[in-house]
A and B are shown apart, each in its own frame.
Chain A
Amino acid sequence: MSDGIRLEIAERELPSGLTLLAVRNPRVLTYACVASLEVRAGDEPADKSGLANLVGESLDEGTKRYDALGLAAAAESIGAAMEGNHRGGVVMCPATSQKEALALLREMILEPTFPGREIRRVQAEVLTEIKAEDDDPRAVAARRFRKMIYGDHPLGRPTQGAAKSVAKLKPKDLRDFHDTWFRPAGGYIAASGPEETDKTLDRLEKAFSSFRGKAPKHTPMPDVELAAASRDMHVPMAREQVHVYLGHLGIRRTHPDFYVLSMMDHVLGTGPGFTSRCSRKLRDEQGLCYAVSAGITPSAGEEPGTFTAYIGTSPEHRQKAIDGFLEEIRRIRLEPPAAQELQDVKDYLTGSFVFALERNSNLAAYAIRARRFGLGFDFLHRYPGIIRSITAEQVREVAERHLHPDRLTVISAGAS
């Protein structure tokens, strides 16, 4: 049984409200830095869907000092891989290049210029991606599923936005969004590498101490309600398989039931290999599919995620697969898992969590998560104890509380 892990993490909050985090990973010769600012889904205007995504995609298309090619060449010449996203970005590099890489990340996040020609090109790329997704039944089903669950809530929009909206976006929209929301307060910059945490924090402070300004108040996110009753919809597409999403509104990461639910997920549908009930039954025993999963915790974030069950199968097996999910959902609400089944999941969870600590980018992202969700830096030390203390009856109770087999949304796309 693995014991908890104590990571060497340090933090420093700047007067601007930006929090810097440093993780020491002495085993490696590499470095990663992750920036995650306080940009929320609701900050994107409803009539400009896809704006936040386009901002993230376009951060590396030019900065005050570099054009798009210059920035890429500068990163490549030090062996760095860098990318932006709607909350900031990530850079990874050999540890010997961390100073230069950090400077490039800073520049990409804080000083993008969103040049017109480049933005039009990225826009066209995103539009092609949307079109490719329109061809992909799994993506079509996933998109409809979110829309049905969240309705007009910002989370109901596809990340890339609607084609009509994306086509209308102008570089000025991107600049305005960036100027407004890429602000330090409430944001995090986390780095992981072999250097001592104090040194890492000093570097981060030097890079980001001039990052100032305040964002306006975020618009409060509207509440989302569970669907009143079950609904079932199919989008026919000429394909070999049908992709089925089934589920309902889920929980936030901060929900007190999160850990018990993570155990429920492993019993039900996210356990490794064919150990979960859904994969054992639908794939291993019935041979209905290649890919199957079900869980409520993987999508839990700052906003409520979804309970999502997914299967890709042949059209003649669609109903059998849905019935299979339903049977397992009902069962886990009624019967506590057997002692051995529960113990097997505990053994897995308490042994496997260390794998998330191997890569610098994961360590930096973990530090941010620990801080953002109030887990505490000693979380990984406490985690095995939390898992070991969970009982079978608790698993049944949370399943009953959080799974709603009579209020499911079922969406499929593909072969009929």
Chain B
Amino acid sequence: MVEQTMLPDVEVVELENGFKALLVERGPLPVVASIVWYRVGARDERTGETGVSHFLEHMMFKGTDRFPKGQIDLQTSKMGGSNNAFTDSDSTAYYFSMAADRWETALEIEASRMRGCLLDPLEFASEKNVVLEELAMGEDDPWRPLYQATETLLYQVHPYHHPVIGYRQDLERLSAQQMRDYYHRNYGPNRAFLVVVGAIDKARAAARIRELFGSIPRVTERAEPLTEPPPQGERRAELRTPHSVVRMCIGFPTCRMGDRDDYALDVLAHDLGNSKNSRLYRRLVLKDELVTDVSVLNETRQDPGAFFVLCELREGSSPARVEAAVREEIAKQLEEGVGKKDLDRIRTQIRASFLFQDEAVLDLAMKLCRFEAGTPGGFRTLEGVLPTYASLQNKELREVAAKYFDFRRAAIVWAMPAAGSVPANAPKRRTVARKPVAKKTPSRLVKKDDKVKAGPKAKTKQKSKTKKAGKRA
């Protein structure tokens, strides 16, 4: 029963121009979710044009050859729906939720803006201000600069180095023509796929998709980015922030999404930090009472990703003690792995998290997209997800922990109050300019309803720490 929900009945429509659609019929509520997912993201940006992917995502709502300015939102609203979008390092996704009797308008909009986005220079200038406001909002956030600084240390060569929202100086200089070139270079049917879930007639939907997307010409395939060489030592930085609470982020370079190690890292993340019974929560929050919040994120991506540990310190806690305690707990995990009882509990939690993603059509559509885009096996990977988690044994978990949780390759960033002091045990220091963190490849394990925390508060706060750049607030 549970396995059935992991991989729903999907009809695949493939067009000659490389466009692919995944269709899932799901009733009885008269709602439909559709997502067009472009394999285009911040990693595709050239030097000097950082932020163009995300800025373009904004412009995709500002008018096309068929839907003049204002019409995309208006038509969405008339469909009884909502729309939104997000950009991360690997992808840009546009999604609609709509009443079932009107949803096909979404297809018309998506087909039109795949090649026909207007990118009007006046609109471009006005929306640039919005993007700069979004960037400023991120700069004021207590977590984003910390997280971004950690990524900047982890990736010295690979384009994951730069923030999805871009550098202010690049955004200010970016021209409408540069964006137009970027758009025409990257947006096309062979770089995108569509997922539709809801009360649809699959045959009718397939016919409409062929009609609307079939004649759109291909674009050049994606270029492979530079490979990130392994770090040669621990990298550290310290930010001076206007916030009075001290925070820390540790990042370890890891693997690609969908690799077998990725599943093991999910389990290790649960064991380490994402519940009240996790090692770091028990040690840092409950026993030593050093931090108010600890969370752990397995952030795999299309190219090798990273594993993050984030802490928010209690007033007066010693940063050195916090870092030492994190190191000790990670060392214990390397030695002990995950006990059988804990492993059973974690598997149950993971299984439940997949079930919760099936409650709403948009969540299910998003899950299919993430697997289609992020794993070599595409959406069909879902079939093997639970068996893979079930097959992980402690020996393998210990091996994976030892492979990745190596402080000689870690990036460690402290965010300190502007008048505060540096952690006592910091062996070397390098100040990184405060830069905005936008982004985050969405975690494969979508969190449950925002209103409900699954364990410690850290769990729900994680979202705000790792938010991707998006169209809406």
Contact = CB atoms under 8 A, between A and B. Distances in A.
B256 interface: no
Interface in B16-32: 26-31
Given A239-B242, A240-B136, A124 B292 contact: yes
Interface in A34-54: none
Contact of A72 (B72, B126, B277): B277
B359 A359 contact: yes
Contacts of B79: 347, 351
B158 to A, nearest CB: 28
Given A241-B140, A274-B73, A358-B361, A127 B242 contact: no
Given A127-B315, A352-B81, A360-B359, A286 B348 contact: no
A68 interface: yes
B80 interface: yes
A376 interface: no
B152 to A, nearest CB: 19
Main DSSP-derived SS at the A contact region: mixed
A241 B139 CA distance: 9
B73 A287 contact: no
A80 B453 CA distance: 10
Interface residues of B, number: 82
B345 to A, nearest CB: 5
A121 B286 CA distance: 8
B334 to A, nearest CB: 23
A361 B74 contact: no
B455 interface: yes
Contact of A29 (B1, B82, B314, B455): B1
Given A81-B452, A83-B452, A312-B137, A344 B74 contact: yes
Interface in B57-81: 61-62, 70, 72-74, 76-81
Contact of B140 (A128, A240, A289): A240
Interface string A8-40: 000000000000000000011110000000000
Contacts of A355: 31, 82, 97, 360
A384 to B, nearest CB: 10
B431 interface: no
A239 B73 contact: no
Interface residues of A, number: 75
Contact of A80 (B61, B73, B352, B473): B352
Contact of B102 (A73, A76, A351): A351
A290 to B, nearest CB: 4
B244 to A, nearest CB: 5
Contact of B453 (A77, A81, A289, A360): A81
Given A69-B282, A361-B449, A288 B129 contact: yes
A273 interface: yes
Interface string B286-320: 10010011000000000000000000101100000
Q: Please list the 7 inter-chain residue pairs (A to B) with the smallest Cβ-Cβ separation, ordered nearest first.
A: A351-B80, A79-B352, A273-B73, A287-B129, A291-B473, A351-B99, A72-B276
8 contacts: A30-B359, A92-B356, A136-B140, A238-B242, A288-B133, A351-B78, A352-B82, A354-B80
Interface of A: 1-2, 5, 27-30, 68-69, 72-73, 76-83, 90, 92-94, 121, 124-125, 127-129, 131-132, 134-137, 237-241, 271-275, 280, 283-291, 312-314, 344-345, 347-352, 354-355, 357-362, 414
